[in-house]
Amino acid sequence: DICPVDCLTFTENREEAELRQQLNVPANNPSQDLFVSGNLKTGRIMVKDEDVCLHCGLCAERCPTSAWDMQKFLYIAPKAMKAE
């Protein structure tokens, strides 16, 4: 109800193949790793499919315990340069 693309699923911890069957939105790319949280106080886990996530930050904004954090991360790879 928070995520506009339903990339978050709260479920019981299972093997990866079973987790993929439990996702709210079926994974289009089975080779893409899933983010799986540690055990929550409810005894469940949170699973996030990075291929579906828009990184809009609504989940972090609405999290009642501030346990979710959407920080900006930029990876800058150096470019090859001509030798002098």
Whether 73 and 62 have beta carbons less than 8 Å apart is answered as: no
Q: Domain residues of the chain, as ranges?
A: 1-84
DSSP annotation string for 14-27: --HHHHHHH-SS--
Report residue 12's pLDDT band, with 50, 70 and 90 as the boundaries: very high
Per-residue pLDDT for 22 more than 70?
A: yes
Contact 39, 26 (CB under 8 A): no
Give pLDDT tens digits for 30-73. Answer: 888 888 888 888 889 988 888 888 888 888 888 877 767 776 66
